Amino acid sequence: MNLSQEQWEYLKDLNDDIWVAYSYIGIPIQIVMIIYKILYPIYWQEVKRMEQFPSLLQDKLIRPFIFYGPIYYLFDIIIKVGSGKAFASACSMSFFSHHLITLLFLPFAVYSKHVPWFFISTALFHAILLCFKHSYLQYIYLVAVLLYHYGILQPPFRNLIQFKLLNIGTILLYLTIIALWLNGCSH
């Protein structure tokens, strides 16, 4: 695409504005769903294959409020590459790699048949971080990511291929988070 820099900036701002608005809408729903899933847990320790997870109403209800992530990251990557800003600085390269890895691995979580509370908590605190830009929220988000990572390493998740792939993606994301931190990057 042969767009001007202003057009690329417009597309970036539009994509970001949609992502933030989507995040604002999803926050209350995600809070309710996390509370529900914690108060009424499902004991899935006996599950050996993904197909054995029950198809639950709450998993279907949360999906519209978490599905947009991969779509946002796809557009973000296209815009960054198209505008020539993907590799303009250490921070832009770190964000680009963070978003690329997220795009590759996030669908394993977001489009999963079963959506555990620790998936939703990561989405929730990411949304809060986007909507309320306070630096201390990054630490709360990091705790949510660590809880999510701990969750996928527990049975039965750790034995299922999609969660093994998520584990690899999460480790790669830690590397990009470290790069963002070392370079003093902020969103």
pLDDT, tens digit, 9 for 90 and up, residues 39-64: 988 776 666 666 677 778 888 888 88
Say what the pLDDT of residue 61 is. Answer: 86
Say what the pLDDT of residue 187 is. Answer: 67
Distance CA 145, CA 40 (A): 22
Tens digit of each residue's pLDDT, the chain (187 residues): 688 999 999 999 999 999 999 999 999 999 999 999 889 887 766 666 666 777 788 888 888 888 899 999 999 999 999 999 999 999 999 999 999 999 999 998 888 888 889 999 999 999 999 999 877 888 898 899 999 999 999 988 888 899 999 999 999 999 998 999 899 987 6
Continuous segment of H or E residues that includes residue 2: none
Say what the pLDDT of residue 50 is. Answer: 66
Please report whether residue 99 resides in a domain. Answer: yes
Instruction: Give the pTM.
Output: 0.87
Distance CA 176, CA 67 (A): 22
Please report whether residue 106 resides in a domain. Answer: yes
Please report whether residue 187 resides in a domain. Answer: no
Please report whether residue 103 resides in a domain. Answer: yes
Say what the pLDDT of residue 42 is. Answer: 76
Please report whether residue 178 resides in a domain. Answer: yes
Say what the pLDDT of residue 1 is. Answer: 62
DSSP 73-114: HHHHHHHHHHHT-TTSSHHHHHHHHHHHHHHHHHHHHHT-SS
Say what the pLDDT of residue 57 is. Answer: 83
Please report whether residue 14 resides in a domain. Answer: yes
Q: Domain containing 30: what range?
A: 5-182
CA angle, corner 45, sides to 43 and 49, nearest 5?
115
Number of domains within the chain: 1
Please report whether residue 53 resides in a domain. Answer: yes
